[in-house]
Amino acid sequence: MFFKLLPSIEYTKTPISYPFSESDYVIATNFFKKYVIDENIFQYAVYFDKYVIQTGERLDTIAEKFYKNAFYDWVIAITNNMVNPGYDLPMDDNAIRIYTEDKYDDAYSGTHHYETVEYKNIKDVVLQPAGLYVDENFYNSTHTFNNGASLVTIPGSTLSRPVNNYEYETQKNEKNREIYILQPALLEAFVSSFKKSNKYIESSDYINKNLKKTNRI
């Protein structure tokens, strides 16, 4: 259904002859026509629900669950700015293991990066939040903090930890489970807006609202 809503382009075949005739052009779907969601819109919780993708779920099964129609899987992809749903969806445990082992020479003991752990003073005030990326020098150095009573020197290995390649890829994969679902009541309005955005406006290449001409480079 998604591709039916995209406009088309007439592009020149090679070799290019002049003047152009209809036989010199091929009509193709314009895959470069992109509809991007402004991320600021996600601040409006009334428009979207957060959803955590379960293992084995696909966009079409999620669309069926929320919209009662698997063909609206493209709506979920677009509203989450997914470029390639095949890669943007979470992998299962076995797939992420194979992916990591193929990507890295040392998947399990190789350090991907270092990140901080939370550190509080004696008054329970957070002096250092967890999850900040730091370098190896920070990890191997000492650092001075005021713990609320006096200055203390703390090893970087206490304030931060190494994250191995497998852990990093697993964390990144888990983030892909969190998506936004457009409220079903707004689906019809969204599809209508998408259709309108994919109409061409008049220009030198304009043929009709669903078709324009372009030269192949």
Report the pLDDT averaged over residues 172-188.
90
Cα 155 to its chain centre, rounded Å, is 36
Query: Which of 23-37, 52-66, 83-97, 198-212 holds the top average pLDDT?
Result: 52-66
What residue segments make up the domains of the chain, in order of their start? 1-33+198-217, 95-163
pLDDT score, position 5: 46
- Angstrom distances, CA of residue 125 to CA of 159, 169, 211: 15, 31, 61
Backbone phi, then psi, for 93, in 5-degree steps?
-60, -40
Q: What is the pTM of this model?
A: 0.63
Tell the residue number behind the tokens 């696909």, with chain if given.
Answer: 58
Q: Looking at residue 201, what DSSP letter applies? A: P
Rounded to 10 deg, the angle between the 165-175 and 93-103 helix axes is 130
Tens-place pLDDT, residues 37-54: 555 544 544 578 899 999
Share of the chain above pLDDT 70, in %: 69
Backbone phi, then psi, for 176, in 5-degree steps?
-70, -10
In angstroms, the CA 67 to CA 76 distance is 10
